Structure 1
Amino acid sequence: MENPAISIIIPVYKVEAFLQRCINSVLSQDFKNWEMILVDDGSPDNCPQICDRNAKMDYRIKVIHKRNEGLPAARKSGFMLSKGRYIIHLDSDDYLLPNALTILYQKAVKGNYDIVKGCNYRFTNENSNEIEKPKLCNTEIISPENYLKALIRHEIKPYIWGGIYKRELFEDCTYCFMSEISICEDWITNQAIWGKVNKYIAISDVVYVYFINPKSMMQSTVLSHQYINKIGFLMKQIALNAPKDISKIIELDRTASHIRSFFIPELPWNSDEYKKIRKFIDETNNLFEIHTYIDERFLRFIKNKPLFMAYSRIYAHAFKLLKLKGHKRSIL
């Protein structure tokens, strides 16, 4: 297929139990004008064979076998091979719901949207699921600046999956920002394309199933203060040509992330970061503004170091016992 309407990029790594389900969800779509690009990121299991077997059965399926370099590099390889007018990213342990391609494509074409996002189910097991919706649903976002602000304020879901994107949003340089990160890459990718996003909408249709794999890095890793700062540096680099007020929004978001980190049991108390937080929130209106970025419970006693230290450590200990059941996560 020389000019497919949609290119579906699926990075593949250690998902042998889920990969065929993912592929089948595309094959069963009523919308047929697509190409599927399976990027085998050096998977050590039977995923490479599953990819090749499916490619032999349907000419619309292409396979890339490459050495393991991580999710951003796999997505970049898939994009470089793709030819579709629109791009859909699909994680290989997730799957599309019936009619997802038709719903997203028709909405994008009819409204000339750069991005159309659908809602998704969050599956934790076979008997437990919930519908995840963004804060701004069925509301158009017009202009790159408004899109970037909504994204950083978490009014737009950070995921790159579950939506359809115009091809021209992605260029080779888009993926350069992700070369040194392994978590938050979806959010950073969505920020990296901000300058070309003139028209965005999230719709209420549920089109995607996000399977929460307890063995995934996202579920078994916590972010250190150093990693939070690294993400902040990338955000500032991406927003260099953005309006000046976006720098303040980034500072509010990153400060909120640092505050939440004090409640993570795997992370020790960090006096240096606390000093930075106090300096920031003591500035005019910053404490008031940060309330929209973080739950109120994390701000209790924030201006009293001994009380905040005791409160955050007790909270972290209780979380470890009651929620984590003593399980210890790795620190990134």
Structure 2
Amino acid sequence: MTDPKPLVSIIVPVYNAEAYLSYCVDSILTQSYDNLEVILVDDGAKDSSPSICDDYAAKDPRVTVIHQENGGIAKAQNAGLDAAHGDYIAFADNDDILDRRNIEFLLHALLRSGADMSKARWQQFGVSTLDEIEGKASQGAETPKKMTVFRDPLRAYQTVFCKSLRLLGDALGRNTEARYFNEANWCRLYRRELWDGIRFPEGMYAQDVMVAGELYSRMDKVVDIDCVLYYWLQSAGSVTHSKRNYSFYRDNLRAGTANFEHALDQGILPARSYYTAVGSLHEATHAPDFSEHRDEHTLDEDTVRSLIARLSAPRKLVCAALRMIRLAEKQVYDRRIKNMK
């Protein structure tokens, strides 16, 4: 018999987040759906984050805290997955805010549709609007008017990623935005079994990108709900926005080439992975420590070149065109989003 109110495990890796952690955890503990297991994984934080986590565990029996030596976000996520007891799995970053009805809506969509993963929309915000966003999220989103179920999520991941083309598709009545998602693990709800045998590779930056291909290949259906349920803090200190040494770019390159090959093996156009691999290969040359890694870069050039050679001429043209569109969009994103105050 299906549990009428199944347990949902929410995994939150925590590292030096004392300024924002309470906003995140409070938004989780005040969810309208309350049968939760909240796993806070202290990844060897040096500030007061560990004691903040312990305080929450002392006050709410739904909270479990794991303290470990610093090993990076992948190690923290894996520790959370290993400890999770829920039938469904969600993730949150330690400085983001969940809408009060996040789990309620994501779980309802998943159960109603029979999908493997549910997802919703998210909104970026800057530190200056933190209290405003907290108030908005605490009110709870209105019941979404639209729920879209689609199959072949790996194909959607690889081919639906340019914002301008998604807007065009929506204008033409194709509901393209509903099929868009990236490799981020937040603002999703997964059936637990999807993670059986999958763990994030530890010691690299692009851990979420690296598992994306295999994870999405396991899914038959994904359901999208058309409402904002997650608020993503844009911080200049985040890894994505600040870390620009060679290893950052090379990890993204490795993840991109792995997914490129995986998509080819599945007969899917690897457009997103083409963008990731080619872009990371180029951007790595601007890393301050590039001169120390020229030999590695030469080998990576050969790897990318050999993968692109497996594409037909028309497919190469499509991938290159989508990359140019996305690069133009990225310039707009960098100006408007990454510099949010």
Answer yes or no: same fold by TM over 0.5.
yes
The residue that corresponds to 1:257 in the other structure is: 279
Is the CA contact 2:113–2:223 (under 8 Å) kept in the aligned structure 1? no
The residue that corresponds to 1:217 in the other structure is: 239
Is the CA contact 2:126–2:233 (under 8 Å) kept in the aligned structure 1? yes
The residue that corresponds to 2:21 in the other structure is: 19
Residues 1:296 and 1:257: Cα distance change in structure 2 (over 3 Å): same
Equivalent residue in structure 1 for 2:186, among 161, 165, 173:
161
The residue that corresponds to 2:149 in the other structure is: 140
1:75 aligns with 2:70: no
Q: CA deviation at 1:80?
A: 1.2
Q: CA deviation at 1:249?
A: 4.6
Residues 1:234 and 1:95: Cα distance change in structure 2 (over 3 Å): same
Q: Which has the larger radius of gyration?
A: 1
Alpha-carbon RMSD: 3.8
Instruction: Please list, as runs of the form range in 1=range in 2, the aligned pairs for 1:1-332 lying within 5 A after superposition.
Output: 5-127=7-129, 139-142=148-151, 146-153=152-159, 154=161, 155-171=180-196, 173-175=197-199, 178-182=201-205, 184-222=206-244, 224=246, 226-235=250-259, 239=262, 242-243=265-266, 245-246=267-268, 249=271, 252-258=274-280, 261=283, 280=308, 284-296=313-325
Q: CA deviation at 1:54?
A: 0.7
**SS, match of residue 35 in structure 1:** strand
Is the CA contact 2:250–2:284 (under 8 Å) kept in the aligned structure 1? no
Could you tell me how far apart the structure 2 residues matched to 1:16 and 1:260 are?
Answer: 36
Is the CA contact 2:31–2:103 (under 8 Å) kept in the aligned structure 1? yes
Deviations 1:180-228 (A, max 9, x none): 421x322333323223211112221110110012111111023746434
Residues 1:71 and 1:268: Cα distance change in structure 2 (over 3 Å): closer
Could you tell me how far apart the structure 2 residues matched to 1:5 and 1:67 are?
Answer: 28
Q: What residue ranges of structure 1 are gaps of 5+ in the alignment?
A: 131-136, 300-315, 326-332
Q: CA deviation at 1:296?
A: 4.5
AA partner of residue 189 (structure 1) = V
Residues 1:298 and 1:19: Cα distance change in structure 2 (over 3 Å): closer
Q: Identify which of structures 1 and 2 has the higher relative contact order when contacts are C-alpha pairs closer than 8 Å and 6+ apart.
A: 2
Residues 1:35 and 1:236: Cα distance change in structure 2 (over 3 Å): same
TM superposition score normalised by structure 1: 0.73
The residue that corresponds to 1:328 in the other structure is: none
| % identity of equivalent residues | 24
Could you tell me how far apart the structure 1 residues matched to 2:305 and 2:43 are?
Answer: 43
Deviations 1:80-126 (A, max 9, x none): 11111111101111110121111111111111111111111101233
Could you tell me how far apart the structure 1 residues matched to 2:232 and 2:281 are?
Answer: 28
Q: CA deviation at 1:278?
A: 8.3
Is the CA contact 1:160–1:187 (under 8 Å) kept in the aligned structure 2? no
The residue that corresponds to 2:166 in the other structure is: none
